[in-house]
Chain A
Amino acid sequence: MDLGLALSLAGVAIAVFLGGMGSAWGVAIAGEAAAGVLTEDPEKFGRLLVMIALPGTQGFYGFLGGFYIMMKVGLLTGAQTVSPAAGLALLFAALPVGVVGFVSGIYQGKASAAGIQIIAKKPEEMGKAIIIPAMVETYAVIGLLATILIVSGITL
């Protein structure tokens, strides 16, 4: 295995673990808030589950970014030779989805927890409660997009 491939796999790892960490953190924040509401009102479980799931997407975006790099270097289909420079470039390409996913996952969790408070008091306003954390997610989507565009632009 050559250095280029190793570097690109480091990129895969960064994308997956940062995104996953952000989501895990964010889902936990939303989950704690939801658990508090559920002690009073267990019937809201279904609605709150949606709110808890919202910060979970960053983990997928991270995985997706990582997978895109894996496909690029042909890891699953038969590895191609990757020059060290291209490997380093792929490592950098993983940063947008990873870092933005990490931070936005946490903050989306906080916004989700705030939305859960809306549902606790006014369940009929669920639409608004969903929109608020979705505003945060925008930046994770853009991070993913940047990663995909960079990866597809790199020549091995």
Chain B
Amino acid sequence: MSLVEMQKVSLLALSDFKDEIIKILSDSEAIHITKIRDEAGPALKESPGQIEYKLSELKSTIDFLEHIEQRKKTFIESFVPNKEELTKEKLASTAQYFDYESPINKYKQIENKLSNLKNLLNELDAEYEKVFPWQRLPAPLQDLTCSLKTCLVSGIIKKKHFIEFKQNLNKLSNCVEINIAGQNKEELFIILIYLAEEKKPIEDYLVKSALKSVELPNSRRTAKEEIKHILKVKAETEAEIKELTAEAKEMVPELNNLKRVYDYFLEQKNQLKVKEQFFSGKHTFVLEGWIIKAQSLKLKTQIEKTTKEFEIFNIEPSAGEKPPVAIKNPTLASPFEMITKVYGTPKNEDIDPTLPLSFFFALFFGLCLGDFGYGLSLMLISFYFLKKYKLPQGGKDLFDLFIFGSAVSMVVGVLTGSYFGYTPGGILGKLQIVNPITNPLTMLVISLALGVIQILFGISLQMYNNIRKKQYLNAIFDDLFWMFFLGSLVFLIVSSALSLPTSKLASSLSIAGAILLVLTQGRSEKNIIKKFLGGVLSLYKVTSYMGDTLSYSRLLALGMSSAIIGSVINILAGMLKGSVPVLGIILMILLLIFGHAFNLIISTLSAFVHSMRLQMVEFFGKFYEGGGMEFKPFKRAAEYTVINNLKTGGN
């Protein structure tokens, strides 16, 4: 449960070997590179701009082809994307020999044409909408214009305004013709013809009126023919799009190679960028970074395979610079590092909370799931996923956690007599020591007791922390005294609840603890009265400890909830069985499968979330801060591929 020891190093080598050495560093994942502060070296000659441009072209080609491919992604893939595994040499040779320019160019052409065609489709649709209502007009659309003596306006008006509109026009002139060319539920489509000499008053009115004038397309065809024409062009355009899509589909097999090339350039960019952190001189370069002490020799031998002309110095960190933090735990506890990291990497002077929390997390998870059947199912599912899928580190850790938790859950299930919500008799019944449903108080006491244990353990870790930092006063006054006081309070509660003869002793111990706290907790104040008041006020912290302890009651509630929902499913299934002959049994089986699967998912989610919360809020609150800088060694950047010959002598 300790942090890994770090050493700051500086690597000096010949510039000729710069790229080789960067490659070695990327493969070995051993060094956390930091920027060299005093910028004196010449600026970089190579710019990442060109690579950046290539990457973005590749990316849009890949995205386009993936869209064209229309492969249905499974639910699991949304968590764990499928990555191709290949050797480093293969990746490099693909990047070298695969002609990625031609698919990119082809994609650009197709994409260009496609977007033009799609625009055309949109235009056609708009045109169609516009012309559609005028189909009954017999004349070609271009004839619907003003002549020498007459004026013509086409427009749309709401039916409810039409009568008023007509009356008003008739008042203005007795030589106006209104033709209704079409209508829908609410609107009339009208053609208005009036004399050119009456243009002024009529147009003045039209601007004010409810008529919305429409500009019909200037076409030699009638509206009906125009519609036909639009539909024809549309069909042609759609066929063309289909053709282009088919053409694009032929490129889909290139996808794999494109992805490889993309990853190749991504790594190039990664390596180019890291050089910005270096000090690069004419003949030599220097880089600085942190390395795990135990690995520094290994790195040296790896570089020696390429060149002897280099040196690694141990250097002192600059003032105020703190090393990045890596944590290392025994194999069994290492999956629990995930929880530590969600909260935050430890600071340099912190202790690593992974090992202490691992035991509690597994225990609480098991209590919350609390069923033998669910535990067994979860364990089998986890093994299946670990075996079947190449999971990233986080995924592996998650299922490892599930395996620990589900093992505890199976034990809890036996002890509480819960097998998929069913409580059997016989031998299994004899193994049951407590029934949480009929006797929730016992389980409540167990939950709270676990809480007290974890809280006291947390305080003792804080004490260990203080002793390590040589803050002995804090260790004794803040941690030891509080532990003593809280312990005696628990003793008092237990003694009086069971009316034991020890209650008198317990109460005097508690009072002694309280007095010790009153005397010491105000010690940072100067004034003696303030010292005393500070001490008295500190006793108020008891309520926060009480709240923390009560928070563990969720262990009971969640354990019961999964067991009760399980038993409800069983009861409902039992009702179905007798309801209809034959079909009833099928329905019962379906309900049992889906019901328990559903309950398993929901219960696992809450078991995970709530056990995590108990660690982070109730447990970490006592001794752990987090917020350190994580050790992030320089390593390969990739999106689509995994190198599987990477670990040639690496960590």
Q: Is B571 an interface residue (CB 8 A)?
A: yes
A68 at the interface (CB under 8 A from B): yes
Chain B neighbourhood of A64, CB < 8 A: 560-561, 564-565
Q: Are A50 and B605 in contact (CB under 8 A)?
A: yes
A79 at the interface (CB under 8 A from B): no
A/B interface sample: 17 pairs, CB < 8 A: A45-B75, A46-B79, A47-B79, A54-B609, A57-B606, A61-B561, A63-B568, A127-B342, A131-B616, A134-B612, A135-B613, A135-B617, A138-B613, A142-B557, A145-B444, A145-B557, A149-B440
Interface residues of B in 553-572 (CB under 8 A from A): 553-554, 556-558, 560-561, 564-565, 568, 571
The yes or no answer to A28 lying at the interface (CB within 8 A) is no
**Does residue B239 face the partner (Cβ distance < 8 Å to A)?**
no
| Interface assignment of B73: CB less than 8 Å from any CB of chain A | yes
Closest 9 CB pairs of A and B: A127-B342, A46-B78, A134-B609, A141-B554, A145-B557, A141-B557, A46-B79, A144-B557, A134-B613
A131 touches B564 (CB 8 A): no
Residues of B within 8 A of A135 (CB): 613, 617
Residues of A within 8 A of B560 (CB): 64, 148
The reply to whether B613 and A152 form a contact with Cβ atoms under 8 Å apart is: no
Q: Does B441 count as interface, using CB distance less than 8 angstroms?
A: yes
- Which residue on chain B has the smallest CB distance to residue A126? B342
A60, B565: Cβ atoms under 8 Å?
yes
Interface size on B, residues (CB 8 A): 36
Q: Which residues on the A side are within 8 Å of B596 (C-beta)?
A: none
Contacting residues of chain B (418-437) with chain A, CB-CB under 8 angstroms: 437
Q: Is the interface of A mostly helix, strand, loop or mixed?
A: helix
A131 and B561 form a contact (CB under 8 A): no
In chain B, positions 458-512 with a C-beta closer than 8 Å to chain A are none
Chain A nearest CB: distance from B184 CB in Å? Answer: 32
Of residues 13 through 71 on chain A, the ones whose CB sits less than 8 Å from some CB of chain B are: 43-47, 50, 53-54, 56-57, 60-61, 63-64, 67-68, 71
CB pair A60–B561 under 8 Å, yes or no, is: yes
A1, CB-defined interface residue at 8 Å: no
Chain A 134-156, CB-CB to B under 8 Å as 1, else 0, gives: 11011001101100110010000
- Nearest CB of chain A from residue B566's CB, rounded to whole Å: 11
Determine which of B78, B342, B557, B564 lies in contact with A67 in the assembled complex, contact meaning CB atoms within 8 Å.
B564
CA distance A149 to B443 in the complex (A): 11
Q: What are the residues of chain A within 8 A of B561 when measuring CB–CB? A: 60-61, 64, 144
Which residues on A sit within 8 Å (CB–CB) of B441?
Answer: 149, 152
B residues less than 8 Å from A71 (CB atoms): 437
Encode contact with B along A71-108: 1 for CB under 8 Å, 0 otherwise: 10000100000000000000000000000000000000
Interface residues of B (CB under 8 A from A): 73, 75-76, 78-79, 338-339, 341-342, 437-438, 440-441, 444, 550-551, 553-554, 556-558, 560-561, 564-565, 568, 571, 602, 605-606, 609-610, 612-613, 616-617
Which B residues are in CB contact (< 8 Å) with A148?
440, 557, 560
Q: A45-B78, A131-B609 are in contact. Are A67 and B616 (CB under 8 A)?
A: no
Supposing A57-B602, A68-B564, A131-B616 touch, asked if A145 and B556 sit within 8 A by C-beta, the answer is yes
Partner of A60, one of B553, B602, B609, B610: B602
A130 within 8 A of B: yes
Q: How far is the CA of A131 from the CA of B617 in the complex (A)?
A: 10
Identify 11 new A-B residue pairs, CB closer than 8 A, beyond the known A64-B560, A127-B339, A131-B342. A44-B78, A63-B568, A130-B612, A134-B610, A135-B613, A137-B609, A142-B553, A145-B444, A148-B560, A149-B440, A152-B440
Given contact pairs A131-B616, A152-B441, A46 touches B610 in the complex (Cβ within 8 A): no
User: Which chain B residues lie closer than 8 Å to A60 at the CB level?
Assistant: 561, 565, 602
With a cutoff of 8 Å between Cβ atoms, the chain A residues found around residue B602 in the complex are 53, 56-57, 60
Query: Complex formed: what's the CA distance from A67 to B564 in Å?
Result: 8
CB of B436, distance to nearest CB on chain A (Å): 10
A149 and B444 contacting across the interface, CB-CB below 8 Å: yes
Contacts of B553 in A (CB 8 A): 141-142, 145
Bound form: Cα–Cα A17–B540 in Å:
39
Q: A64-B565, A127-B342 are in contact. Are A141 and B558 (CB under 8 A)?
A: yes
A149 to B436 CA separation, bound complex (whole angstroms):
11
Assess whether B571 is in contact with A128, with CB atoms less than 8 Å apart: no
- CA–CA, A152 and B560, complex, Å: 13
* Max chain B Cβ within 10 angstroms of own Cβ: one of A43, A71, A144, A145: A145
Closest to B74 in A: A46
B242 to chain A, nearest CB (A): 24
Q: Report chain B residues within 8 Å CB of A54.
A: 605, 609
Shortest CB distance A135–B (Å): 7
Task: Kindly list chain B residues whose C-beta atoms are within 8 Å of the C-beta of A63.
Answer: 565, 568
CB distance from B381 to the nearest CB of A (A): 16
When distances are taken between beta carbons in the complex, the residues of chain B under 8 Å from A61 are 557, 561
Instruction: Judge whether B605 and A145 touch: CB under 8 Å.
Output: no
Q: CB-CB < 8 A to A57: which residues of B?
A: 602, 606
* Contact indicator B613/A76 (Cβ below 8 Å): no
Considering the chains assembled together, what is the distance between the CA atoms of A134 and B341 in angstroms? Answer: 18
CA distance A149 to B565 in the complex (A): 18
- Expressed in whole angstroms, the Cα–Cα distance for A131 and B343 within the complex equals 10
Q: Are B613 and A131 in contact (CB under 8 A)?
A: yes
Please state if B75 and A46 are interface contacts (CB–CB under 8 Å).
yes
Residues of B within 8 A of A144 (CB): 557, 561
Q: For B338, what are the chain A residues with a Cβ–Cβ distance below 8 Å? A: 127
Provide the bound-state CA to CA distance between A78 and B568, in Å.
Answer: 16
Closest to A76 in B: B571
Instruction: Determine how close the nearest CB of chain B comes to the CB of A15; give it in whole angstroms.
Output: 13
Which B residues are CB-close (under 8 A) to A50?
A: 605
A43: chain B residues at CB < 8 Å are 73, 78
A50 to chain B: closest CB distance in Å?
A: 7
Q: How far is B341's CA from A149's CA once the two chains are assembled, in angstroms?
A: 36
In the complex, what distance in Å separates the CA atom of A128 from the CA atom of B79? Answer: 17
Shortest B310–chain A CB gap in Å is: 35
**What's the Cα separation between A128 and B341 when bound, in Å?**
10
Complex CA gap A74/B644 in Å reads 62
Contact of A131 among B568, B605, B606, B612 (CB under 8 A): B612
Shortest Cβ distance from B580 into chain A, in angstroms?
A: 20
* Cα(A92)–Cα(B623), bound, Å: 40
Q: How far is the CA of A138 from the CA of B564 in the complex (A)?
A: 19
Taking CB atoms, residues of chain A closer than 8 Å to B571 are 76
Complex: A134 Cα to B554 Cα, angstroms: 12
Q: Which residue of B has the minimal Cβ distance to A46?
A: B78
Rounded to whole angstroms, the CA-CA distance of A130 and B604 in the bound complex is: 14
Contact (Cβ within 8 A) B557 A47: no
CB closest chain-A residue, reference B338: A127
Assembly CA distance A61 to B339 (angstroms): 26
How close is B131's CB to chain A, nearest CB, in angstroms? Answer: 33
Bound-state CA distance A46–B341 (Å) is 22
Given that A76-B571, A149-B440 are known contacts, is A128 also in contact with B342, CB under 8 Å in the complex?
yes
The smallest beta-carbon distance between A143 and chain B, in angstroms, is 9
Q: How far is the CA of A145 from the CA of B550 in the complex (A)?
A: 11
Q: How far is the CB of B258 from chain A (nearest CB, A)?
A: 19
CA distance A138 to B561 in the complex (A): 14
Q: How far is the CA of A131 from the CA of B613 in the complex (A)?
A: 7
CA distance A137 to B602 in the complex (A): 14
Q: Identify which of A50, A53, A61, A134 gathers the most chain B CB atoms within 10 Å of its CB.
A: A134
Complex CA–CA separation, A54 to B602 (angstroms):
9
Query: Does the CB pair B554–A145 fall under 8 Å?
Result: yes
